[in-house]
Amino acid sequence: MKKMKHLLTLILLLIIASCNYPSQRSKVAAADSAAVSKPKIDIPAFNKDSAYSYVVAQLAFGPRVPGTPAHEKCAEYITVRLKSWCKDVIVQKCRMAAYNGKVLDGKNIIASWKPELKNRIILCSHWESRPWADHDPDPGNRRKPVDAANDGASGVGVLMEAARQFSLKEPSVGIDIVLFDLEDYGPPQDESQGDDKWWGLGSQYWAQNPHKQGYSARYGILLDMVGAPGATFLLEGISQQYAPDIQKKIWDAANRIGYSSFFLYEKGSYVTDDHVFLIKYMNIPVVDLIHLDKTTDSGFYPYWHTTHDNLASIDAATLKAVGQTLLTVAYEEE
């Protein structure tokens, strides 16, 4: 009787093992072929709570409008944090005339890993707030400044967490995180003559006066409005035209690691953003990773340039999708 029981157990085990065999086998085969097409490296886990906390910290200063104490203090905050993760941090000052003749003092903040390498990539975003919520549905709000949780702080929050990850494990290629000032001082809607040159003043300066002589990079990724719940990143037109392969690399990485609901293979509009000036003056292909929405009048996310672009419109899940994708692209680069 005891022998019989053992025999039954053995048969049962064999049945289980044989059932399991094909699926294990195909898993191994799948892993093998993945290893052939992609380099085997451990990609660190992007911490979304950490990124979110950097967004909260920026917003605590109030709107970071050029010429205000909040702007000054936030530049100091970002610089101090970056210096804790990176030994090569440069603050580039610039004075730029705005559309209304006002002279603005700007600071581009640059953190570089492996600065000696020619083989490098740029990760960038703008950090300051727009002075006017000129697209607010309430006309009474249209001269108020924007908290710029999404349109400013989100990209910086993601890049600060990336910087923290780079401090723990350096990618193979050189990296420059470049945080632009004075991106969003373009004329309010009711004063606009449709001229694009008043946007991206900080990036226009850096692209024509890089922090290092003879500076170049293989490519760049610009983050703009990367924190709204359920954000949709469409294939922005200028990026598609000047950096199609980089754009595909980013979208493919995102889709491969599970973020297909955010990164859609759908053609989006053409946006005058910081990437345009890097393409134009530095001849570097740069992709704008930007939340585009065909259902809104602006073509951007619903709270764009409104007083609702505040902390309540930030979702750490979106920061994670963008941050993990960025880390994947950066660490897989060789």
Provide the binding-site residues for ligand AHN, judged by CB under 6 A: 151, 184, 186, 196, 199, 224, 271-273
Greatest alpha-carbon span in the chain? 98
196 interacts with, out of ligand AHN, Zn ion, none, CB within 5 to 8 A per kind? ligand AHN
The pair phi, psi for residue 102, each rounded to 5°, is: -65, 135
CB of 184 to ligand AHN, least distance (A): 5
Task: Kindly state the number of chain residues that form the binding site for Zn ion, as judged by CB under 5 A.
Answer: 3
User: C-alpha angle with apex 14: 8 to 20, nearest 5 degrees?
Assistant: 140
Only one of the segments 136-144, 145-153, 154-162, 314-322 lies at the binding site for Zn ion (rule: CB under 5 A); that segment is 145-153
Q: Which does 273 bind (CB under 5 to 8 A by kind): Zn ion, ligand AHN, none?
A: ligand AHN
Question: Of the candidates 250, 247, 246, which has an alpha carbon nearest to the alpha carbon of residue 325?
Answer: 250
CA proximity to 156, closest of 90, 241, 223:
223
- Kindly indicate which of the ranges 101-109, 123-131, 161-169, 226-234 contains the residues binding Zn ion, using the contact rule CB under 5 A: 123-131
Q: Please report how the helices 48-59 and 69-85 are oriented relative to each other, as an axis angle in degrees rounded to 10.
A: 150
Q: CB of 244 within 8 A of CB of 332?
A: no
Beta bridge partners of residue 97, listed in sequence order: 103
Tokens of 312: 């309540």
The 3-state secondary structure of 40-108, one letter per residue: CCCCCCCCHHHHHHHHHHHHCCCCCCCCCHHHHHHHHHHHHHHHHHCCEEEEEEEEEECCCCCEEEEEE
If contact means CB under 5 to 8 A according to the sort of partner, which of Zn ion, ligand AHN, none does residue 271 touch? ligand AHN
CB of 99 to ligand AHN, least distance (A): 12
In the bound state with ligand AHN, the residue whose beta carbon lies nearer, of 109 and 276, is: 276
For Zn ion, the closer of residues 153 and 175 by Cβ is 153
Q: Which does 272 bind (CB under 5 to 8 A by kind): ligand AHN, Zn ion, none?
A: ligand AHN
Residue of the chain from 136, 151, 236, 333 that contacts Zn ion (CB under 5 A) = 151
Q: Which option in Zn ion, ligand AHN, none does residue 199 bind, with CB closer than 5 to 8 A by kind? A: ligand AHN
- Residue 143 φ/ψ, nearest 5 degrees: -105, 5
* CA–CA separation, 235 and 260 (whole Å): 13
Choosing from 184, 288, 293, 309, the residue that interacts with Zn ion (CB under 5 A) is: 184
CB of 199 to Zn ion, least distance (A): 8
Q: How far is the CB of 179 from Zn ion (least distance, A)?
A: 15
Residue 147 binding result from ligand AHN, Zn ion, none, given CB thresholds of 5 to 8 Å by partner type: none
List contacts with Zn ion (CB under 5 A). Answer: 130, 151, 184
